[in-house]
Chains A and B, each alone.
Chain A
């Protein structure tokens, strides 16, 4: 078996999702960062804060997406605190993201979903895929795991969901993708953004639904090793 190169570029195989609902947005992601077949981080946080009211889901190259987020956070801070004096709109945040993604398209490999809430337009989701397009959507999916979710969303998505319905949808979708995509895994993290603020949630394996052919997850080796069956030698 070939030696695993721990210093190879870290990629987030990933499943990322952003969904608008009646009152705000729900962002969701898995937590697997992989280097080849080695899972470099099984509990990463791919939903990153840009401002108090705007977050971004990161996919693709971990480094590229982190750097883009850092720049946008910096520019937004200048724009908001220093110039404007009021929270940035989601559109402005998404536009800054896409300017970086587009103008550096030859050197970057990251797909992003920007989601947030502002007082003018309410909850909004903007997809910024690989080439640096910006498109506002009622919901957006991204990352390698998203391939398995297009049909699911066609059937399950509906306009004007409640907050609970939206979060359930996101949780279900990410867990479906994790079941089928080797590059997605770990836990499901969600971030809910609305007029009242931001709520972060965390769903480890045992709180997620089991799909066809999946094995039940075990949180601790003690569960497995705790009660061994007697061996018949």
Chain B
């Protein structure tokens, strides 16, 4: 899976003989070791979900948010180094408000994704800057409908129907592929995302986790917001039930 790039991995401005930049790959490892983050694009919007691992019982529930609103119409879920993630979110917010001031229209999600990706990439070009140790799933709803983008630490950004990063991404992707996204409404998708996150959470390795979810859909008036309390509780209950049924086998 991983190879040691001895000697060629000390700086982000060094290529290895086989054309790799190891520092960027190591940055991606930071993302791989964080809690799972999922985003899916359904019929009428986007749902983002985060497996927020809780390091200490003393933490207040609802603190250390991993999903941030970037603009009225878009939100971003972060995996990896939290402080790095805060920087990216701040930049995205700034790009979005700047675009709005100049062009008088909310920033198209594609444009926002491009700008975030350029910014992340920028930090992989200089030896005196380290790459961002976080990956970002960006979901938004603009004139061209709901769109989902994922930006990796290398600065690469692709558009997805469903994306997952973090520890449980392999299992999560498998589950997402099983869903019929074109027919799924966001209301139903919230339940599915909760089930997936509860499903990929590794009880043995990690302790507690908190489920954080947000959506942008027709039902939320195309605004990015936290999933409403009762729906979130309903989703958690359904997810726990599904787990028990699985365990009962």
| Chain A partners chain B | yes
Binding site for B on A (CB under 8 A): 79, 83-84, 89, 91-92, 94-96, 99, 120, 134
Q: A-B contact count, CB below 8 Å? A: 22
19 pairs of residues in contact across A and B, judged by CB atoms under 8 Å: A79-B103, A83-B111, A83-B114, A84-B108, A84-B111, A89-B105, A91-B104, A91-B105, A92-B103, A92-B104, A92-B105, A95-B102, A95-B103, A95-B104, A95-B105, A96-B102, A96-B103, A96-B104, A134-B104
Q: Which residues of B contact A92 (CB under 8 A)?
A: 103-105
Nearest CB of chain A from residue B7's CB, rounded to whole Å: 40
CA distance A127 to B105 in the complex (A): 17
Nearest CB of chain B from residue A84's CB, rounded to whole Å: 7
Contact string against A for B residues 103-127, beta-carbon threshold 8 Å, 1 for contact and 0 otherwise: 1110010010010000000000000
Nearest CB of chain B from residue A141's CB, rounded to whole Å: 23
Chain B residue with the shortest CB-CB distance to A83: B111
Q: Which residues of A contact B205 (CB under 8 A)?
A: none
CA distance A143 to B84 in the complex (A): 54
B180 at the interface (CB under 8 A from A): no
Nearest CB of chain B from residue A135's CB, rounded to whole Å: 13
Q: Which residues of A contact B143 (CB under 8 A)?
A: 120
CA distance A99 to B98 in the complex (A): 13
Nearest CB of chain B from residue A117's CB, rounded to whole Å: 15
Nearest CB of chain B from residue A122's CB, rounded to whole Å: 13
Nearest CB of chain B from residue A98's CB, rounded to whole Å: 8
Nearest CB of chain B from residue A83's CB, rounded to whole Å: 6
Q: Which residues of A contact B102 (CB under 8 A)?
A: 95-96, 99
Q: Which residues of A contact B108 (CB under 8 A)?
A: 84
Q: Which residues of A contact B105 (CB under 8 A)?
A: 89, 91-92, 95
Contact string against A for B residues 143-165, beta-carbon threshold 8 Å, 1 for contact and 0 otherwise: 10000000000000000000000
CA distance A89 to B108 in the complex (A): 12
Q: Which residues of A contact B104 (CB under 8 A)?
A: 91-92, 94-96, 134
